Amino acid sequence: MRRRVYLAATLVACLLMNGCYRPSPANTANHPDEPMDGWQVYTASCASCHQPDGMGVKDKFPPLAGSEWVTGPATRLIALSLDGVTGPQNVGGVEYRGIMPAWGSALTDSQLAAALTYARQTWGNAAPPVSAMDVYKVRITTAARKTFWTSSELLEMSDPKPTSGNTSSPAHGN
Q: Which residue ranges make up the site for ligand HEC (CB under 6 A)?
A: 45-46, 48-50, 61-64, 67, 69-70, 77, 80-81, 85-87, 89, 91, 96-101, 103, 115-116, 119
For ligand HEC, which is the closer residue by CB, 1 or 16?
A: 16
How far apart, in Å, are the Cα atoms of 22 and each of 40, 41, 164?
10, 11, 43
For ligand HEC, which is the closer residue by CB, 97 or 172?
A: 97
For ligand HEC, which is the closer residue by CB, 26 or 150?
A: 150
Shortest reach from residue 36's CB to ligand HEC, in Å: 12
Tell me how far apart the alpha carbons of residues 134 and 17 are, in angstroms, rounded to a whole number.
33
Shortest reach from residue 10's CB to ligand HEC, in Å: 22
Q: What are phi and psi of 87, to 5 degrees?
A: -70, 175
Shortest reach from residue 2's CB to ligand HEC, in Å: 34
CA atoms within 13 A on the CB side of 36: 21
Calculate ∠ Cα 90-130-72, nearest 5°. Answer: 30
Tell me how far apart the alpha carbons of residues 10 and 169 are, in angstroms, rounded to a whole number.
55
Shortest reach from residue 132's CB to ligand HEC, in Å: 14
**Cis status of the peptide bond prior to 73, with omega within 30 of 0:** no
For ligand HEC, which is the closer residue by CB, 98 or 129?
A: 98
For ligand HEC, which is the closer residue by CB, 9 or 14?
A: 14
User: In the β-sheet with 149-150, what is the strand arrangement from edge to edge?
Assistant: 99-100, 85-86, 149-150
Shortest reach from residue 172's CB to ligand HEC, in Å: 18
For ligand HEC, which is the closer residue by CB, 52 or 87?
A: 87
Shortest reach from residue 163's CB to ligand HEC, in Å: 26
Q: Pairing relation of β-strands 85-86 and 89-91?
A: unpaired
